[in-house]
Amino acid sequence: PTLRIDVVSIFPEYLTPLRAALLGRAIDRGIISVDVHDLRDWTHDVHRGVDDSPYGGGPGMVMKPEVWGPCLDDVCPDDALLVVPTPAGVPFTQSMAEDLSRERHLVFACGRYEGIDQRVVDDAATRTRVLEVSIGDFVLIGGEVATIAMVEATVRLIDGVLGNAASHQQDSFSDGLLEGPSYTRPEVWRGLAVPAVLRSGDHAKIEKWRHEESLQRTRSRRPDLLPADEPGQPD
Ligand SMILES: O[C@H]1NC=Nc2ccccc21
């Protein structure tokens, strides 16, 4: 395959969405491969324990290095890129998705949100490239949902995955602004009409209107995305 993806999780069934729809088709067509591993297969004790209390006290549990270490030894070769979803990671961006889509082998280590013993990452970093990545400033229970989001954002960029109709060439972030409103038939729905300009056939006017809508929406929802020369920049 163009890209090999391995995912390690204590909830392997959480990753089944990766086999559905367009991603499932990409697997069937051999563009990508996805293998999910149950971290508990690397436990030693009868209780198959994967976590323990944190040194220094505090809430929650920390995942054991004695389980993750041997797991990654088996699952993550030195030439792979190890991606560790964590709320304490660098922000995941479209640019990072583009970088990941050019990799040959990605390994996602799904930990609980209190985290994996830091020595697992530090030890792995002596052999391979490691990225600790966050998908946003909110707290999930574990890295599985973050992994699904990052895999979808990454794999859709690989040639052949999206039908060319759904091409990623015109991604919403292509001009750095938010996409404005979209409409389709019927022309009037529940008394609401499609903006007349979109039915005018005047492509220059339509393009201008769409850019204006994007600017207006970006100003109100994401002023941080506005280019420096646009009014409405946050102080
Ligand atoms: O990507 C993160 N964003 C928010 N919460 C998380 C929880 C566990 C793993 C990863 C994340």
**76-94 confidence digits (pLDDT tens):** 999 999 999 999 999 999 9
The per-residue pLDDT for 11 is: 97
| 171 given a catalytic annotation | yes
Q: What share of the chain is helix, strand, coil (3-state, %, to 5)?
A: 40, 20, 40
44-81: pLDDT as tens digits: 899 999 999 999 999 999 999 999 999 999 999 999 99
181-221: pLDDT as tens digits: 999 999 999 999 999 999 999 999 999 999 999 999 999 99
With a 6 Å cutoff on the Cβ, whether 134 touches ligand 1 is yes
Give residue 110 CA to ligand 1 midpoint distance, Å: 9
Catalytic residue, from 99, 103, 152, 171: name it.
171
Rounded to the nearest 10 degrees, how much is the dihedral formed by the CA atoms of 165, 155, 103, 105? Answer: -140
- What is the C-alpha to C-alpha distance for residues 43 and 116, in angstroms, rounded to an integer? 15
With a 6 Å cutoff on the Cβ, whether 94 touches ligand 1 is no
Going by C-alpha positions, the residue among 136, 106, 113, 111 that lies closest to residue 121 is 111
| 156 given a catalytic annotation | yes
Q: Is the pLDDT of residue 168 over 80?
A: no
Let me know: does 33 contact 133? Beta carbons within 8 Å: no
Tell me the pLDDT band of 41, cut-offs 50, 70 and 90. very high
Give residue 134 CA to ligand 1 midpoint distance, Å: 6
Give residue 113 CA to ligand 1 midpoint distance, Å: 6
- Joined together, the tokens standing for residue 184 give 């389709």
Give residue 231 CA to ligand 1 midpoint distance, Å: 34
Name the least confident of 102-116, 123-137, 153-167, 195-209. Answer: 153-167
- What is the C-alpha to C-alpha distance for residues 2 and 158, in angstroms, rounded to an integer? 8
- What is the C-alpha to C-alpha distance for residues 144 and 9, in angstroms, rounded to an integer? 7
The per-residue pLDDT for 113 is: 73
- What is the C-alpha to C-alpha distance for residues 115 and 50, in angstroms, rounded to an integer? 12
The per-residue pLDDT for 175 is: 84
| 123 given a catalytic annotation | no
With a 6 Å cutoff on the Cβ, whether 85 touches ligand 1 is yes
Tell me what ipTM this predicted complex has. Answer: 0.92
Taking CA atoms only, the protein residue closest to ligand 1 atom 10 is: 86
With a 6 Å cutoff on the Cβ, whether 139 touches ligand 1 is yes
